Structure 1
Amino acid sequence: MPTKLYDKEQILNDCLAVFARHGYEKTSTVMLAEAAGISRALIFHHFKSKKELYLSLLDRYFEKGSIEMNFNNMLEQGDFFEVKEKISTVKFNYYKENPELYKVVMEAFYNTPEGLKKEIERRYGEFIDKRDNVLEQLFEKVPLREGVDREQAFKLIKLTLDYFENKYLADLVEDENLNEAYFESFIEERNRFFDMIRYGIQK
């Protein structure tokens, strides 16, 4: 691997921990340079600004995450609920191995720094829309009872998914060492919610 490319990747690895610990707003270029063990001038040789470095971390996440989660072949992986479970398993393992990256991603998309909102929406909005469109296509195959509005049903499921995404984030903040037992319990609880949506709650 060329030295220049290696140095850039190493800078990203070193700076990830700083962004994860302090957040984008409270992280300075001085802190980033100290973490990477290089001068600010060398950081700016590879990245024009703190903003570009932060966005480069997100770019790398989307590139690697897409491969890990196999988004491009999602429609061929089973029905809607099976695919969501597979994605959750991959995401859990991916974030468990990369907890600092998870914190940066959650900040970027759930507590977006003011100065990054437009850029993040422009840069990643298309990918997120594509992912949601694929999930909607999968959901189109789910048979619904007569009288159930498909769009509203999908929104209900997304609300449920958002709840569990936020729950996972809160649990990870409290304990970075979430284990397999936690994940099994987490998925079981989420699937019980899905079952209530799929099969109803009234006797």
Structure 2
Amino acid sequence: MRKINQPFYNLKPDKREKIIHAALQEFAENGYEQASTNNIVKNAGIGKGMLFYYFKNKKELYLYLIDYSLAIITNEFLGKIDTNEPDFIERLRQIAKIKMAYNQDYPNILGFLANVYIQEEIELPENLTKRYEEIINLRHSVMYENIDTSLFREDVDREKAYQLIGWSIEGYQNNLMKQFKHQNVTTTNMDPYWDEFYDYLKILKTIFYK
């Protein structure tokens, strides 16, 4: 991939992020083949000529967004998780809070990357494929590294417990995100929801821990 034109990086951050957000949303909703650059420039508030001044073509924009998204996931999500927390349920509580803030700031990245690596509409450069694999490994590490398995009841299958706990927390979080899909979470008092969430975590600990 050629180096992106310097004028793109010379844009004011808010203008640059608006272009990135518009492109991520379009690709996340429609995939690579069906994504419309006309929709991207319309939602970004720029001329089509400017988009192709910054990026040579649609594919180059797409590859740039993959590179951008992988960096965001690494630094703004996985990189913020404290793997020194040995309690699996507490680890997931921490991840849930980070993920909530992450999805608020970067709402289209997960959907975009899911399209990229599940649909596989274009062949990706080896370096992007390798980085994605590294992120999968990093995700496994931040989930399970340094977990104190002695906290679990001896009659519980720990691998199944991991899955059930993870599904429970993810399900609650997905339900919460649907409720706030069209709201600004930063202006909402989230304390009652987190209190409810912690109550559910206590129940999970009662079920699975000694």
What is the TM-score normalised by the length of structure 1?
Answer: 0.69
Deviation string for 1:58-93 (max 9, x for gaps)? 533442443344627622356433333333333333
Deviation string for 1:122-161 (max 9, x for gaps)? 4534313321233112434451111211111111112113
Q: Distance in 2 between matches of 1:165 and 1:88?
A: 7
Which residue of 1 is the match for residue 3 of structure 2?
none
Which residue of 1 is the match for residue 145 of structure 2?
137
The answer (yes or no) to whether the contact 1:71–1:131 under 8 Å persists in 2 is no
Q: Does the alignment pair 1:6 with 2:10?
A: yes
Which residue of 1 is the match for residue 207 of structure 2?
200
Higher helix share: 1
Which residue of 2 is the match for residue 188 of structure 1?
195
The answer (yes or no) to whether the contact 1:29–1:50 under 8 Å persists in 2 is yes
Q: Distance in 2 between matches of 1:44 and 1:127?
A: 30
CA shift, 1:168, in A, is 3.2
Q: 1:149-168 maps to which residues of 2 (within 5 A)?
A: 149-168=157-176
Unaligned runs of 5+ in 1: none
Which residue of 2 is the match for residue 30 of structure 1?
38
When the two chains are superposed, the root-mean-square deviation of aligned CA atoms in Å is 3.7
The answer (yes or no) to whether the contact 1:11–1:36 under 8 Å persists in 2 is no
Which residue of 1 is the match for residue 51 of structure 2?
43
| SS in structure 2 of the partner of residue 76 of structure 1 | coil
Which residue of 2 is the match for residue 147 of structure 1?
155
Q: Find 1:169's aligned residue among 177, 183, 186.
A: 177
Q: Distance in 1 between matches of 2:123 and 2:172?
A: 26
Deviates more, 1:178-187 or 1:126-135: 178-187
Unaligned runs of 5+ in 2: 1-5
Deviation string for 1:102-130 (max 9, x for gaps)? 1x1242356777355986x9453431332
Which amino acid letter does the alignment assign opposite residue 105 of structure 1? I
Q: Find 1:126's aligned residue among 130, 134, 137.
A: 134
The answer (yes or no) to whether the contact 2:88–2:147 under 8 Å persists in 1 is yes
Which amino acid letter does the alignment assign opposite residue 19 of structure 2? D
Which amino acid letter does the alignment assign opposite residue 16 of structure 1? H
Which amino acid letter does the alignment assign opposite residue 179 of structure 2? D
Which residue of 2 is the match for residue 105 of structure 1?
109
The answer (yes or no) to whether the contact 1:18–1:32 under 8 Å persists in 2 is yes
Q: Does the alignment pair 1:178 with 2:193?
A: no
Q: Distance in 2 between matches of 1:93 and 1:129?
A: 22
Q: 1:28-107 maps to which residues of 2 (within 5 A)?
A: 28-34=36-42, 35-40=44-49, 42-69=50-77, 71=79, 74-77=82-85, 79-96=87-104, 98=105, 101-102=106-107, 104-107=108-111
Q: What's the % identity of the aligned pairs?
A: 22
The answer (yes or no) to whether the contact 2:69–2:113 under 8 Å persists in 1 is no
